[in-house]
Structure formats: C-alpha cells, structure tokens
Amino acid sequence: MKILISSHAFAPSIGGIETVTALLAKEFVRQGSEVAVVTQTVEESLEPFPFRVVRQSTLGELREALRWCDIFWQNNLSLRTLWPALFQRTPVVITHQGSYCRRPAGIDLVQRLKHAVVRRRSSVAISKAVADCFDVDSHLIPNPFDAQLFAPGPPAEERSNDLIFVGRLVTEKGVDLLLHALKQLPASTRLTIVGLGPERAAMEELATQLGLQEQVYFAGPQRGVELVRLLQEHKILVVPSRYDEPFGVVALEGIACGCVVVGSSGGGLAEAIGASGLTFPNGDAALLATLLGRLLREPDERARLAANGPAHLARFHPAVVAQSYLSLFAAKLR
C-alpha cells in the first residue's frame, strides 16, 4: 500500500502531531507499506527517515504525490493539502487531533468548512471526547506512544523525586494550578517542570511569590533519553490542564516510565490515563493538592496504580495503532 501523509508540522518541529506522524509512518513502513509525508515545516531534520518527506510542497509536487499514493491520510485536517485530492478522487482519511473540534459559532467560515468536509470524508477520532465534537460517526483510534524509547525505570519506592510536569509553559496547561497545589503540600515536596513557553518567566515569578523557589526546578525543554531519565526519577507525573485536552500522549509516556499520573478529567486526557492514575476536575487546585498528598503518603496505592500500566499501554503501542489504521485504509480501497 502507498500511503501519503499530510502533517502540517513535522520533525524537527517538536509536538504531539509531529511525534505521532513519525511513529506511525515508521510503523507503516515496518509493516510493508510505502510512505511519503507532506509538511509545511521548512527545516530539515537531522534524523534520517525510511520514507520521503516533501517540505512546503508546490501544487505540482502535491498532485504528483497524490497520483502516486493509494490512500491520503491527513493527520489533522489541512484544507491546504486536501483540496487537490478532492479533484483527483484520491481516497482520504482524516484523523482529528482536536484543534478544530469545537462546534462552529457565528460566521466562523473556516470552522464551518472544516466540519462540512468532515461530514463527507472518513473520520478518525483520537478519543471519545474528540469524536463527540462532530455530527458524524468516527472510527476511534488513539494516538500511540514511543514504546521503544519510554520504558520503566526503578520501582516507585526507589525514586528520589516527587512530582514532574512535562509540557508547553502556556496558560492552558495549568502550571499555575500545580504551583498553588504544591503550596498546600509539605515543604519537603519537590517539583520538576520540564518544558518551554511564553509563561516560563511568569511561572518562575509565581513560584517565588508562593515561597516555592527551593521546591521547584525548571529543567527547560527535554526530549529523548534525557526526558526518559527524568520521568524515571519521579514518582508522579502531573498533567493539570485548564482546558479539555483532546488526548494526552504525555500521560502514556509517563505511565510507560513507571510514573503514576494525576491529570485533569476534562476531554480525552482521562482516556489516556485510564486506571494508571487519578483525575480531578479542571481548575480545582485544592482537590489536586489532596490527591497528590494522598499518593505521596501512600506508596502502596502508587504501586497499585502503576501495576495497571502494562495492560493499559498495550492498545497504544505503535504496532497496534498502525494496524488499526492499515485495516481502515484497506477497507477504503475495496
């Protein structure tokens, strides 16, 4: 099977869609398909890929790629790359990652056009929460995590660090909630914040205002083996998003590294956490502090939750997720 993938952002850009696209493209190749990726990311990646990457394709390049492929998979809807496929009658499957899932309000022509396209093409939703945003039935196929990279470290009782946050430092990720929750925990509790973003200076200032500067370490952006090492050193990964996350690959990564996950309950994040952690209502810093305090005091409860990890992670393995897509693609070609 020849699969053309549209991924608006791709390596070396860092983000969830970029990671998922690379993981599944590699797995499609491993399972015998030919793959090409079209992306708007200009920078060349230092990582060699076992497939062709076309950056900022011209209309002619895109048409050529569409003539080459058997199926066109859009990992998040891109009108820029979709319309030529409509004229060439190329079979299209669109995976909704969440960026345009809100229902249109007012004029909002772009949003209405995207929802109109969704009603006429095969849809995949990464979580039930995302599927519920649309008026059509979607195939439910979750995002995978990098099962080769993220792996268990020391048992929880041997881990020297308490809490870790991994993500962009932006308002909707709720780092301020986590800092306010930390203020309610014993002064011996330590938090590592991994990530970069426009809110970093504000979060450092908030930590100082709350008197937490000795308890909080801003580690900056980390990836690859360094990120794995940090996760393996911590007991609890906290995902305190203020908004409804469409899914939450970071939760899978934490679970794979042996962390218990505590995250907000809105959106699809709870589906990613499963029975390997606890959830709290979005924005509730007091309840977040209560849950974190209880887990830090109860190692047996942490061990119980962590033991659920392997069974939970099985359905998010790249090979399993890729096979779900390949079966869907094959059905479209019959």
Same structural domain, 180 and 165: yes
How large is the average pLDDT for residues 308-322? 97
The pLDDT of residue 122 is 84
The pLDDT of residue 272 is 97
The pLDDT of residue 104 is 66
Same structural domain, 170 and 282: yes
The pLDDT of residue 221 is 93
Same structural domain, 77 and 97: yes
Confidence of residue 39 (pLDDT cuts 50, 70, 90): very high
Same structural domain, 308 and 165: yes
Instruction: Specify if 240 maps to a domain.
Output: yes
pLDDT higher than threshold 80 for residue 106: no
Domains in the chain, number: 2
Same structural domain, 103 and 35: yes
Confidence of residue 72 (pLDDT cuts 50, 70, 90): very high
How large is the average pLDDT for residues 231-258? 96
Same structural domain, 169 and 87: no
Q: Residue 87 in contact with residue 19, Cβ under 8 Å?
A: no
Share of the chain above pLDDT 90, in %: 82
Give me 20's structure tokens.
Answer: 């998922």
Instruction: Specify if 300 maps to a domain.
Output: yes
> Whole-angstrom Cα distance, residue 309 to residue 311?
6
How large is the average pLDDT for residues 206-229? 96
How large is the average pLDDT for residues 189-212? 97
Same structural domain, 327 and 195: no
The pLDDT of residue 157 is 73
Confidence of residue 15 (pLDDT cuts 50, 70, 90): confident
Q: Residue 238 in contact with residue 216, Cβ under 8 Å?
A: no
Confidence of residue 296 (pLDDT cuts 50, 70, 90): very high
Report the range of poorest mean pLDDT among 81-95, 100-114, 154-168. Answer: 100-114
Q: Residue 28 in contact with residue 35, Cβ under 8 Å?
A: yes
The DSSP symbol for 275 reads: G
Same structural domain, 91 and 43: yes
Confidence of residue 205 (pLDDT cuts 50, 70, 90): very high
> Whole-angstrom Cα distance, residue 143 to residue 154?
26
CB atoms closer than 10 angstroms to residue 269: 26
Give me 227's structure tokens.
Answer: 């990120």
> Whole-angstrom Cα distance, residue 234 to residue 81?
42
- Structure confidence by residue, pLDDT tens digits, 131-150: 998 888 899 999 999 999 99
Same structural domain, 113 and 167: no
How large is the average pLDDT for residues 73-83? 91
Instruction: Specify if 149 maps to a domain.
Output: no
Confidence of residue 89 (pLDDT cuts 50, 70, 90): confident
Same structural domain, 102 and 237: no
Report the range of poorest mean pLDDT among 94-108, 181-195, 204-218. Answer: 94-108
pLDDT higher than threshold 90 for residue 287: yes
The pLDDT of residue 105 is 67
The pLDDT of residue 54 is 97
> Whole-angstrom Cα distance, residue 174 to residue 283?
8
Q: What share of the chain is helix, strand, coil (3-state, %, to 5)?
A: 45, 20, 40
Same structural domain, 328 and 310: no
Instruction: Specify if 84 maps to a domain.
Output: yes
Phi-psi region of 59 (alpha: psi -120 to 50; beta: other; left: phi over 0): alpha
Domain of residue 88 covers 2-144+317-332
Q: What CATH number has the domain bearing residue 287? A: 3.40.50.2000
Q: Residue 55 in contact with residue 24, Cβ under 8 Å?
A: no
The pLDDT of residue 110 is 72
Same structural domain, 28 and 174: no
Residue 110: helix, strand or coil by DSSP?
helix
Average pLDDT, the chain: 93
Share of the chain above pLDDT 70, in %: 98
The pLDDT of residue 112 is 77
